[in-house]
């Protein structure tokens, strides 16, 4: 089971703030996103950024059971 | 070191005094505020969303990196989230060092890196709908 | 713009608030303080002498130059003279700008140039006699 | 008449804080200093800096009636 969070424009586009996903096999972060987003994935104008366990990561990275994933657009704080 | 994310406003001097740093010859503070909105866009406010816990973790990493690189005696970072208006304070970064160059470089590096890595997102609230402000891509 | 030379201590935040600058996205403050004295030298205090009226005139020139160069919205400089002790504030420089780069560069330039041009001289007071601190030669 | 001020280590070496000097002819700042310092001039370890009318100047500059001269070591504020 992984936790998936979405923020900002990604959250709004996917209509998804927080969900969990049962991993059946090792998957990339991007594949998890595709699985939880379903057909709404196509509404994202670009590939989002990802954080794995609250550290910036890559969409290609494999995720493991218990990981927390987050998808979001480029940050704009400060 | 203090790193804090909060909805409430802050007093830059009180925050800095709370750390009670001694032995520093130089202290540099950066305060970022909401600029006046473009009148034609009918922007009435700014809404800052963040990723709780990751913001603190990432700001702490950024502060530690700068502390190591520049030999800072101490670092303070406070960042707000939620609804803000023109003139409101958004972020405070304070660095202490023996000498001014390190304090300046460290402070500037923290705010520069924060803007590309800390998970905050700004949205302009207007009468016609809300507009996400385009952000910077973090280096992984 | 405020440029002031005084014996009294100052509160950095109150000083900055007094200018009531609006429309700035960035504010950078530098506070210089008396570092801990070398214990072996038996230094008990620092005495800052200055050239009244020329200090204000020179600080104003320095502040105006930086304001022009970096497009600063406003500038504040406060510098103390007289007897100071470890940890005491000596100087405050605050710059306001639309964007952070200008505020950082302007603030750093003012304190750098102040240190080579403003007519202040520091003397270490010790039990064995007083020692002038060697200064920097101003560019004319 | 010019006003002459000395500061910091220059003031202490010359034992001179403030004096006036009657200009009989155009002179360099350095010549005015020599005139007001007398034999104590030799106690200065190096040539001092000069300000003319509260602006940094050069020891070679000619001074005029009514000018304010100041002599001092390199500054050490901030």
| Among C residues 95-124, those touching chain D with beta carbons less than 8 Å apart | 111, 114-123
Of all residues in chain C, the one with the smallest CA distance to B106 is: C104
pLDDT tens digits, one per residue of D48-61 = 999 999 999 999 99
pLDDT tens digits, one per residue of A34-75 = 999 999 999 998 999 999 999 999 999 999 999 999 999 999
Interface size, chain B vs chain C, as Cβ–Cβ contacts under 8 Å: 77
Place of tokens 């009226």: C53
Chains contacting D (3 or more CB pairs within 8 Å): C
Q: Does C37 have pLDDT greater than 80? A: no
Q: Does B37 have pLDDT greater than 80? A: no
pLDDT tens digits, one per residue of B42-81 = 778 999 999 999 999 999 999 999 999 999 999 999 999 9
Angle at B30 (CA atoms; ends C70, B121), nearest 5 degrees = 105
pLDDT tens digits, one per residue of D20-37 = 999 988 899 999 999 999
Of all residues in chain C, the one with the smallest CA distance to D76 is: C135
* DSSP H helix total and E strand total for chain C: 3, 8
pLDDT: which is higher, B82 or A25: B82
Chains contacting C (3 or more CB pairs within 8 Å): B, D
Residue B102, classed as helix, strand or coil, is: helix
Q: Which residues of C touch D56 (CB under 8 A)?
A: 58, 117, 138-140
Domain boundary assignment for chain C: 2-132
From the list A5, A9, A74, the residue facing B136 with the nearest CB is A74
How many CA atoms are closer than 13 Å to the CA of A63, on its beta-carbon side? 31
Q: What is the CATH number of domain B2-132?
A: 3.90.1170.40
C-alpha–C-alpha distance, residues C86 and C38, integer Å: 10
Which whole number is the average pLDDT over B18-30?
94
Q: Do B48 and A72 touch (CB under 8 A)?
A: no
In this prediction, residue C138 has a pLDDT band, given cuts at 50, 70 and 90, of low
Q: Do D77 and C132 touch (CB under 8 A)?
A: no
Q: In this complex, is the C-beta atom of C136 within 8 Å of any C-beta atom belonging to chain D? A: yes
**Would you list the DSSP string of C70-131?**
HT-SEEEEEEE-EEE-TT-EEEEEEEEESSHHHHHHHHHHHHHHHHHHS-EEEEEEETTEEE
Residue B18 has which token pair?
């709370």
- In DSSP terms, A15 is beta-bridged to none
User: What is the residue-averaged pLDDT of chain C?
Assistant: 93
C-alpha–C-alpha distance, residues C103 and D1, integer Å: 45
C-alpha–C-alpha distance, residues B47 and C109, integer Å: 34
Place of tokens 């160069």: C69
Total residues found in chain D within this entry: 78
Closest to C90 measured CA to CA, from D76, A22, B36: D76
C-alpha–C-alpha distance, residues A26 and C40, integer Å: 64
Q: Helices (DSSP H) in chain B: which residue ranges?
A: 12-19, 54-70, 100-117
pLDDT tens digits, one per residue of C88-118 = 999 999 999 999 999 999 999 999 999 999 9
Sorted by sequence, the CB contacts under 8 Å of residue C86 that are 6+ apart come out as C34, C35, C36, C37
In this prediction, residue B134 has a pLDDT band, given cuts at 50, 70 and 90, of confident
pLDDT attached to residue C13: 96
From the list A49, A55, A73, the residue facing B132 with the nearest CB is A73
Question: What are the structural domains of chain A?
Answer: 2-72 (3.10.20.30)
């Amino acid at each position: 089971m992984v936790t998936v969070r979405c923020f900002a424009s990604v959250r709004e586009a996917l209509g998804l703030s927080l969900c969990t996903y049962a991993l059946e096999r090792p998957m990339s972060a991007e594949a998890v996103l595709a699985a939880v987003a379903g057909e709404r994935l196509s509404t994202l104008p670009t590939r989002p950024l990802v954080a794995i366990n609250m550290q910036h990561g890559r969409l290609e990275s494999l995720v493991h059971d218990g990981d927390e994933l987050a998808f979001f657009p480029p940050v704009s704080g400060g | 070191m203090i790193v804090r994310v909060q909805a409430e406003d802050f007093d830059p001097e009180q925050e800095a005094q709370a750390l009670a740093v001694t032995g520093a010859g130089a202290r540099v503070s950066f305060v970022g505020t909401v600029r006046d909105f473009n009148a034609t866009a009918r922007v009435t406010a700014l809404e800052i969303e963040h990723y709780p816990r990751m913001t603190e973790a990432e700001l702490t990493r950024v502060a530690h990196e700068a502390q190591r690189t520049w030999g800072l005696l101490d670092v303070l970072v406070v960042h707000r989230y939620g609804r803000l208006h023109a003139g409101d304070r958004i972020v405070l970064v304070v660095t202490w060092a023996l000498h001014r160059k390190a304090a300046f470089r460290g402070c500037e590096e923290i705010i520069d890196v924060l803007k590309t890595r800390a998970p905050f997102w700004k949205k302009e609230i207007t009468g016609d709908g809300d507009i996400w402000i385009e952000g910077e891509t973090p280096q992984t």
